[in-house]
Amino acid sequence: MDTDLSSQDRKDLDKFIKFFALKTVQVIVQARLGEKICTRSSSSPTGSDWFNLAIKDIPEVTHEAKKALAGQLPAVGRSMCVEISLKTSEGDSMELEIWCLEMNEKCDKEIKVSYTVYNRLSLLLKSLLAITRVTPAYRLSRKQGHEYVILYRIYFGEVQLSGLGEGFQTVRVGTVGTPVGTITLSCAYRINLAFMSTRTTAEDNAAVYPSVEDSQEVCTTSFSTSPPSQLSSSRLSYQPAALGVGSADMGYPVVFAGGLNAAHPHQLIVPGKEGGVPLVPSQPPHAAQADQERMAMCTPLDGAHYSAATPSSSEDTETVSNSSEAKSGSPHDILETIFVRKVGAFVNKPINQVTMANLDIPFAMFSPKNIELEDNDPMVNPPDSPETESPLLGSLHSEGSSGNSTGNTHDDFVMVDFKPAFSKDDILPMDLGTFYREFQNPPQLSSLSIDIGAQSMAEDLDSLPEKLAVHEKNVKEFDAFVETLQ
Amino acid sequence: MNCRSEVLEVSVEGRQIEEAMLAVLHTILLHRSTGKFHYKKEGTYSIGTVGTQDVDCDFIDFTYVRVSSEELDRALRKAVGEFKDALRNSGGDGMGQISLEFYQKKKSRWPFSDECIPWEVWTVRVNVVSLANEQERQICREKVGEKLCEKVINIVEVMNRHEYLPKMPTQSEVDNVFDTGLKDVQPYLYKISYQITDSLGTSVTTTMRRLIKDTLAL
C-alpha cells in the first residue's frame, strides 16, 4: 500500500495528520476554557498557521498532546482522545465528553495529499470549531467558576466511553479520506448527570445542593438527548419545582436525586427528564425508600386537605352552608326527602333524634317544639326575605328570625353563636362567624341602582360646563406641570 | 452539474430572527470561505489565514463561530436586517425564507452577460411565533438554542460529505469562483435572497441582493 504513495506524499501526510491532531486538541481545549475565542484573519500568509486557520497554540496543551502521542500517529486501533470532565468544588467529578480522532482502514488512493487532503483537513477543523460550541459541555464550560471547573485529559490508544454513563450521544464532526486510511473525528457526550458523591447523609446532600443545584440546573438546561429538543422538557419539568413552593414536598426532584445518589453514586439521574417525574427503571432499594418517604410526606398533607374539606361537605349543624349541599334546592324540598344526618367533624354532641325538620334547622336541638310548630317554622315556611342567591343566605335569615321568633315564644331559647368550620371559640373579637354575618348582606351600591345612577349622570352633565370653565382658567398650571414632566 | 440544495427550518420569536439567521449563515460561510489567495509567478498560490471568533446571541441561548471579517459580517447583517424588516412588515402570519446561494460565473461572449450557475443553495425557512409572556420567552430562548445546535450539526454533516466544490481557479478565473472583494477573507461567490410568504401561502416578492447588478448588466 505504501508504495503507491510517494515518499514525499507520505511525509507530508504524516506531518498533516500530526499537526491536525495537535490543532484538534487546541481547538477542543480552548473551547472549554470558558472564554470566547477570537483570532484575527490575515490576508498575508505567515507560514505558521496550519490549515490556513488562525488557531493559537497554548504551549501546555501542545506539550500534553505531544506527550500523549509519544511520537506516534493516530492509526487503526490507536485513537487520540481528549476527555473533558467536570469537577465540583466539593471534589465530585464527572466525565462530560470524549473527543476521538480515529483512523480506519478505508483508504482513498486517488486523493491528492498536498492539496485535497490538506483542504479537507482544514474544513474538518472549521467543523470542529462549530461543533465544539454546540455540545452541552460548552454552555457548562462558559459558566465554570466557583462551583465547578472543566478539566481535560489527553490519552492515546483505546477509546474509553464507559465513564460517560448510560445513553450517551455521539455526534460525528467529519471524515477525511487519505491514502493510508480515513480520519474520523467524533464526539461522545454524556446525557444524564450524576454526581459521583460518596456522601450519603441527607444533610450533606442538602449542603451539596445549593452549590450543585445551580450547576445541576445548568447541566440540565444545557444537556440534551438527541435531538436537543428534549432539553426543553427537562427544563419545563424543572419549573414546577422552581416555581413552587418552598416546601420540601414540592422540591422533590432534588430530594429524589439525593436519595438516589445515596444508593447509586453512578446512577444516572435526570431530574424531570421523563416529563416531570424522575423515573428510574430499576429502582434500588434506597431509591424505593426515598420514593416512599416522598409519598409519606405527601400523604398527610393531602390527607389534611381532605379532612379539612369534609366538614364543609358533610356537616350539617355547625356550618349552615352545608345544608345547601345536603339538600337539593329550596327548603320546601326538604319535606319530600329523607336524609340521614351525618355527624360532622366539629360536632360536640351526637344527635340522636333524626327528623326531617331537624335535618335542616340549625340548632334544632335547642328548640324542642320544632316538630309541633312545623307550620310556623321559618325553615319550612320561610318568611319573605330579600332575594338571595344562595340558600345559605336564606337560611341565615331564617335562623335569625327563627332565633327571634323562638326567643319570643320560648324564653329558654339559647342563642348559640354561629360556629363556622375552622373558627376558634371566643378567642378573636371578630371571629369568622361574626365576620360572615356582618358582611353577609351588604347594601347595594348606590351608583348601581338605576334611579340614582340616572340622577348622578344628569348632575354630572349639568356640572360639566362649570368644570370646564374652571379647568380652562387653570390651563397655565397644567402646561407648567406637563413641562416639568418632559 | 446539479445544484445541491439544502433546506433548514426554524421557528423563532420576532426578536430572535436576526441572530438565528446570522448564526446559520455565518456557520455556512465559515465552511465556504478561505484565506485570500496570493498568486505567484509560477501559477502557484498561497492562501491567507482565516481567523474565527465566537458570537454570543443576546436573545437565544446559543453561541456560534464566524469568520473574523467585519466586512463579511456587515454584509450578512444588512441582508438579514432587510429580511427581518420585510418579515415584520409583511403583516402575514410571519413566514418567510432566506436563501444563501453559492454560484460560479461563466463568462459568455458579448452580447450575452455572464451566467451565474449555482452549485449550492441553502434555504432557511423561518416561522415567526409570537409569545404571550416572559416565561414562554425564556422557554423559547432555550428551545431555539437547541434547534440551532441541531442545524449546525446538519450543516457540518452536509459540508463533510465532500461533494462538489468548484475547482481551484487560476488567477484569471478567480473572480468567477470567489468573492475577492473582501480584504481579509475570500468566500465563494454567493448571493442572498429572501421571500416572504403572505397569509395565502404565495410568495409575494423576492429581493435580490448583491451582484444582481452583474446579471442585469445588459
Integer Cα distance of B145 and B66 in angstroms: 16
Check residue A122 and give its pLDDT: 95
Closest residue in B to A40 (Cα–Cα): B51
* Average pLDDT value over all residues in chain A: 65
DSSP letters along A312-358, please? HHH--SS-HHHHHHHSSSSGGGGGG---PPPPPTT-SS------HHH
Q: CB-based contacts of A328: which residues, under 8 Å, 6+ apart?
A: A337
Integer Cα distance of B37 and B169 in angstroms: 10
Nearest chain A Cα distance for residue B100, angstroms: 19
Check residue B216 and give its pLDDT: 53
The rounded Cα A115 to chain-centroid distance in angstroms is 53
In this structure, the strands spanning B37-39 and B45-47 are antiparallel
CB contact under 8 A, A42 and B153: no
Listed residue (A367, A372, A360, A305) closest to A330, CA to CA: A360
Closest residue in B to A43 (Cα–Cα): B48
* Average pLDDT value over all residues in chain B: 87
Q: Is B157 on the interface with A (CB under 8 A)?
A: yes
CB contact under 8 A, B65 and A53: no
Q: What is the DSSP letter of A192?
A: S
Q: Which residue has the cell 442538602?
A: A206
Check residue A303 and give its pLDDT: 37
B residues 26-45 lying closer than 8 A (beta carbon) to A: 27, 30-31, 34-36, 38
Q: Which residue has the cell 474520523?
A: A184
Exposure on the CB side of residue B5, measured as CA atoms within 13 A = 5
Residue A143 to residues A86, A137, A189: CA-CA distances in angstroms? 11, 10, 18
CB contact under 8 A, A130 and B27: yes
Look at A166 and A176; give whichever has higher pLDDT.
A176
Check residue A449 and give its pLDDT: 64
Closest residue in B to A220 (Cα–Cα): B142
Phi–psi pair at A471, nearest 5 degrees: -65, -35
Q: Is B47 on the interface with A (CB under 8 A)?
A: yes
CB neighbour class for A118 (10 Å; exposed up to 12, middle 13-18, buried from 19): buried
Nearest chain A Cα distance for residue B2, angstroms: 21
Q: Give the pLDDT band (50/70/90) at residue A431.
A: low
Q: Which of A50-64, A68-82, A121-135, A237-251 shows the lowest mean pLDDT across its residues?
A: A237-251
Instruction: Give the pLDDT mean for A285-307.
Output: 38
Integer Cα distance of B99 and A228 in angstroms: 25
Integer Cα distance of B191 and B118 in angstroms: 10
Taking contacts as CB-CB distances below 8 angstroms, the residues of chain A near B187 are: none
Q: Which of A132-146, A309-323, A434-448, B31-45 shows the lowest mean pLDDT across its residues?
A: A309-323
In this structure, the strands spanning B4-13 and B115-129 are parallel
% of chain B beyond a pLDDT of 90 = 62
Contact yes or no for A135/A187 (Cβ under 8 A): yes
Check residue A233 and give its pLDDT: 31
Give me the helix-helix angle, A7-31 and A59-69, nearest 10°: 130
Domains of chain A: 7-189 (3.30.900.10)
Instruction: List the single best residue of B49, B69, B147, B151 to mutate versus A (max A Cβ within 10 A).
Output: B49
CB contact under 8 A, A38 and B54: yes
Check residue A423 and give its pLDDT: 59
In the predicted structure, residue B36 carries a pLDDT above the cut 50: yes
Taking contacts as CB-CB distances below 8 angstroms, the residues of chain B near A134 are: 149, 152-153
Taking contacts as CB-CB distances below 8 angstroms, the residues of chain A near B47 are: 45, 52
CB contact under 8 A, A221 and B149: no
Taking contacts as CB-CB distances below 8 angstroms, the residues of chain B near A44 are: 38, 48
Question: How many interface pairs between A and B have CB atoms less than 8 angstroms apart?
Answer: 138
pTM for the predicted model, two decimal places: 0.59
Q: Considering only the beta carbons, identify the residue of B36, B48, B142 that sits closest to A221.
A: B142
Look at A4 and A76; give whichever has higher pLDDT.
A76
Look at A6 and A259; give whichever has higher pLDDT.
A6
Check residue A433 and give its pLDDT: 73
Nearest chain B Cα distance for residue A116, angstroms: 10
Taking contacts as CB-CB distances below 8 angstroms, the residues of chain B near A41 are: 35, 48-51, 67-69, 184-185
Integer Cα distance of B106 and B127 in angstroms: 35
The ipTM assigned to this model is: 0.90
% of chain A beyond a pLDDT of 70 = 48
In the predicted structure, residue A198 carries a pLDDT above the cut 50: no
Nearest chain A Cα distance for residue B52, angstroms: 5
Taking contacts as CB-CB distances below 8 angstroms, the residues of chain A near B38 are: 43-45
Q: Is B52 on the interface with A (CB under 8 A)?
A: yes
Check residue A21 and give its pLDDT: 95
Give me the helix-helix angle, A202-222 and A230-243, nearest 10°: 140
Nearest chain A Cα distance for residue B37, angstroms: 8
Is the C-alpha dihedral spanning A255, A143, B142, B138 positive or negative?
positive
In the predicted structure, residue A468 carries a pLDDT above the cut 70: yes
Question: Is residue B104 classed as helix, strand or coil in its secondary structure?
Answer: strand
Integer Cα distance of B90 and B71 in angstroms: 29
DSSP letters along B106-151, please? E---TTSPPEEEEEEEEEEEEEEE--SSHHHHHHHHHHHHHHHHHH
CB contact under 8 A, B147 and A131: no
Instruction: Give the pLDDT mean for B23-46.
Output: 90
Burial B37-63 (b: 16+ CB within 10 A, else e): beeeeeeebebbbbbbbbbebebbbbb
DSSP letters along A371-404, please? TTTTTT-TTTSPPP----SSHHHHHHHHHHHHHH
Q: Is B180 on the interface with A (CB under 8 A)?
A: no
For the stretch B115-150, pLDDT in tens is 889 999 999 999 999 888 999 999 999 999 999 999
CB contact under 8 A, A54 and B50: yes
Check residue A289 and give its pLDDT: 41
For the stretch B10-19, pLDDT in tens is 999 989 999 9
For the stretch A49-64, pLDDT in tens is 899 999 999 999 999 9
Exposure on the CB side of residue A439, measured as CA atoms within 13 A = 6
Contact yes or no for B185/A45 (Cβ under 8 A): no
CB contact under 8 A, B53 and A36: yes
Listed residue (A384, A383, A329) closest to A360, CA to CA: A329
In the predicted structure, residue A274 carries a pLDDT above the cut 60: no
In the predicted structure, residue A113 carries a pLDDT above the cut 90: no
Number of Cβ atoms within 10 Å of the Cβ of A433:
17
In the predicted structure, residue A266 carries a pLDDT above the cut 60: no
CB contact under 8 A, B52 and A235: no
Closest residue in B to A243 (Cα–Cα): B135
Taking contacts as CB-CB distances below 8 angstroms, the residues of chain A near B159 are: 123, 127, 174
Taking contacts as CB-CB distances below 8 angstroms, the residues of chain A near B69 are: 41
CB contact under 8 A, A37 and B30: no
Integer Cα distance of B32 and B188 in angstroms: 6
CB contact under 8 A, A130 and B65: yes
Closest residue in B to A27 (Cα–Cα): B52
In the predicted structure, residue B110 carries a pLDDT above the cut 80: no
Instruction: Give the pLDDT mean for A84-105.
Output: 92
Mean pLDDT is highest, among A191-200, A232-241, A311-320, for A191-200
The 3-state secondary structure of A247-281, one letter per residue: CCCCCHHHHHHHHHHHHCCCCCECCCCCCCCCCCC
Instruction: Give the pLDDT mean for B157-175.
Output: 88
Taking contacts as CB-CB distances below 8 angstroms, the residues of chain B near A142 are: 63
Q: Which residue has the cell 378573636?
A: A428
Q: Is B49 on the interface with A (CB under 8 A)?
A: yes
Nearest chain B Cα distance for residue A48, angstroms: 10
Check residue A108 and give its pLDDT: 83
Query: Which residues, listed in sequence order, are joined to residue B50 by a DSSP beta bridge?
Result: A53
